[in-house]
Structure 1
């Protein structure tokens, strides 16, 4: 067996995807790689192979707890719903899914719009230039997710700091990462106890009911679920919003196409999900439960496979001209929210936040553009999810009145 390739193949540069992926899809779609930490793994780069790994029951996630799993950070996975296989995974997912039904997400729409407007109001009051990341991308999603969970406003900044602590790859020591995880779990345990005494209409109260009245959740499972929902729900959306703003401002023709009709936002949001690399590869590895033929190689039982969503979403066999951002793209079956049993359970909420966020910004901030140019954007370092850490924007304040009228017409305040 050949020596594994060092992975990642290169340092992330803005939103570029390494051209080596196209070569691998054509010549070596499943190859051996060595992550910075953990054992060697197979890397699947082609759309159809990624789909197999994410859906085939011959691959599972639970074995990561028994292995030195391939990963980008020193801290090993501590378990939770993401490391479960059926039937345990199915049991927990059904409970949480009740909070993310299409009907419930639609009911959240007006409140999500109010929150988006609140942060845009603050940016307008401050006046341009404004750091879009600090003023919107980092605060809007966590406010929505915290309201869903029942976390009070005054604790959100603290929770965000703890979340950053275990999303970082090199800014925190393993001990600091463990401390952040412990602090967040401790806070969630306290919140659960408060909601047990005084239930409210939030997700924590729903989980408590499942635990106390139906005995379907253990206390540890409930805490882990709350932490996972908070981190996954807001970190990925925050990253996607910042990257989407950068992508739109660096693709002026696509931006103008979208501005011509803001009813195109849902389609545009899907294309941005396909096109933009979040900076992590496939989440947790899957371990083969038996020998499996995949992409021309044999994955032996007990070997890990990591799927590369970025590469699969650019696969020219599925997406015509896949390296090009095309907001008008149709039949966009991307893997931005994953696929199979571990498909993102909050995908509908994430879509709502992305669509409301993008539409509100474009409707209410006329002439949106970089404060300087794209070279002035500061990119985050040492995080699992890759996006700008500072992105200064300006707009045309003199046109705000007309924009408010247009917002009212389109349903965006």
Structure 2
């Protein structure tokens, strides 16, 4: 078994903002071993990059999320996820929490939202046209769309959305101190408790009301679990989908042959979204850390009990053993078993909603603006820095 720990690589590899997968992943993907990395917080871990290895780490119950939430656990951000969070649980506790919200995110239920999402997209693009170009697509579409959708789904009032957005930004920061992030989480939790108290008195036709009903059923949901479920939905439901949509449009416009193909045949939008989920790296590093509960072999590496492993889905999605020409964007790719939404028990519950929003938005863009292009100088655009996701600070376009 390979257990050589002499070479330790600083991780994430390159702090420079980019949508290109860092070249350091290339030689690692060619092997069958994990590599040792030094994380920004908590010390060393193993890095899994191969598609098969990442799937194993994400699905093998011997790799625990609950065991990875101690102050000593290697991690990307100073934030300590609360033990009551769904992101910090293993089955069966994780299964119990996920069941409370899973019904709202089935493909069938999400498909019922398509018409409403289409109306939101059309309204946002109408506003962009009225403002005139060049226009920042982030301001007019990529940022507000996921925020409006997740807040409507949960039943968050309009007047609370700006504050929740600001707090969510802090929770995904890599530059704030642990104390600052903890204060932001406390602030968000307190505001959510006020919202929950209001909804307790007057139910609505929304997911939060459904969750409150579930809380009243014996052993289904504690108050802390309810609050942290809503936090996870708000943070995850607006941040990553926004970055993905903006990054996807940027990527397509940098590959004009693919953009033109999509404009000529909008029926390719669903396959384009799947390819973009594979191709576009959203995180600046791998996914949530897992800790081995016992000795586990991954490829030819022996991970000892208690050691941390980072599953890098962004690298696994470029594994040439799974994807032909993995570094080429191909929206007609027929086989695309990407890990953009993860795998296993923690597979992203909001995946169908994020997929739907991207499909509707891209369909509207290619139909309305077949001549869409980056505004002058946008190839040297500004990037957001210091976050756990990589994204454009703005995306100025003309049409």
Same fold (TM over 0.5): yes
The offset of 1:366, in angstroms, is: 3.7
**Gapped runs of 5+ residues in structure 2?**
none
Equivalent position of 1:203 in the other structure:
207
**Does 26-35 or 143-152 show the bigger shift?**
26-35
Contact 1:290/1:302 (<8 A) preserved: yes
Contact 1:69/1:76 (<8 A) preserved: no
Match status 1:88 vs 2:99: no
User: 1:287 is paired with a residue of what secondary structure?
Assistant: strand
User: 1:57 is paired with a residue of what secondary structure?
Assistant: coil
The offset of 1:169, in angstroms, is: 1.1
Contact 2:32/2:50 (<8 A) preserved: no
**Gapped runs of 5+ residues in structure 1?**
396-413
Alignment RMSD, CA only?
1.3
Partners of 1:103 and 1:285 lie apart in 2 by 31
Contact 2:214/2:220 (<8 A) preserved: yes
Correspondence 1:14-413 to 2 at 5 A? 14-27=18-31, 29-66=33-70, 68-79=72-83, 80-170=85-175, 172-395=176-399
Contact 1:25/1:315 (<8 A) preserved: yes
The offset of 1:28, in angstroms, is: 5.7
User: 2:268 is paired with a residue of what secondary structure?
Assistant: helix
User: 1:378 is paired with a residue of what secondary structure?
Assistant: coil
The offset of 1:215, in angstroms, is: 4.2
User: 2:113 is paired with a residue of what secondary structure?
Assistant: helix
**Larger relative contact order, structure 1 or 2 (CA cutoff 8 Å, min sep 6):** 2
Equivalent position of 1:408 in the other structure:
none
Equivalent position of 1:401 in the other structure:
none
Partners of 2:108 and 2:17 lie apart in 1 by 39
Equivalent position of 1:404 in the other structure:
none
Contact 2:12/2:285 (<8 A) preserved: no
User: 2:46 is paired with a residue of what secondary structure?
Assistant: strand
Partners of 1:213 and 1:319 lie apart in 2 by 46
User: 1:348 is paired with a residue of what secondary structure?
Assistant: helix
The offset of 1:279, in angstroms, is: 2.3
The offset of 1:213, in angstroms, is: 3.7
Partners of 1:177 and 1:57 lie apart in 2 by 30
Partners of 2:106 and 2:283 lie apart in 1 by 28
Runs of 4+ off more than 6 Å = none
The offset of 1:95, in angstroms, is: 1.2
